[in-house]
Amino acid sequence: MTLDNLTFFLAQDAAPDRPVAPDNSAPTATTESQGASQTPLMDEAGSEGGPPPNNFNMLILLVPLAIVFIMMSMGGRKEKKKRAAMMAAMAKGDKVQTIGGILGTIVEVRDDEIIVKVDENANTRLRFSRAAIQSIVESKNAD
């Protein structure tokens, strides 16, 4: 190592594994074969100069995305709990609305289906899956 190379090596603040070109301010004699093949040193990304890739920038982008994902999943859990509680609370006499918009009164509750009375005069009853009930409009137990 020459003195110029040593001082340049000690003065650099780059990563130790990154190749750095020595200061060539002093004129040196080169042959034609050396002069034609000399190219500036490049970093790992293939670009000349500039800072090395930084993982901190990626972390800055990923943290907010992770927070948004967690918040969205927590909201979904609350809705699932609320819906499960509504399904468990359905009882005979409750007025319900189906996903299709049909309003009626629960006549019978079975394991996986519910019978809803939709017309008082004609005594029309429809059979629905429990999952087809969107909401309880009026609960008989609330009185």
Q: How far apart are CA 20 and CA 105, in angstroms?
A: 81
Per-residue confidence (pLDDT) for residue 45, from 0 to 100: 52
In a domain, 102, yes or no: yes
Q: What domain range includes position 115?
A: 85-142
The domain that holds 127 is classified in CATH as 2.30.30.30
Domain count, the chain: 1
Residues 10, 16, 17: CA angle, nearest 5 degrees:
140
Give the model confidence (pLDDT) of 81-126 as tens digits. 999 999 999 999 999 999 999 999 999 999 899 999 999 899 899 9
User: What is this structure's pTM?
Assistant: 0.49
Per-residue confidence (pLDDT) for residue 46, from 0 to 100: 54
Give the model confidence (pLDDT) of 13-65 as tens digits. 444 555 555 555 555 555 555 544 555 555 555 555 566 667 778 888 899 99
Per-residue confidence (pLDDT) for residue 2, from 0 to 100: 59
Per-residue confidence (pLDDT) for residue 16, from 0 to 100: 55
Q: How far apart are CA 129 and CA 115, in angstroms?
A: 9
In a domain, 5, yes or no: no
More confidently predicted of 96 and 10: 96
Tokens in use for 42?
């490049």
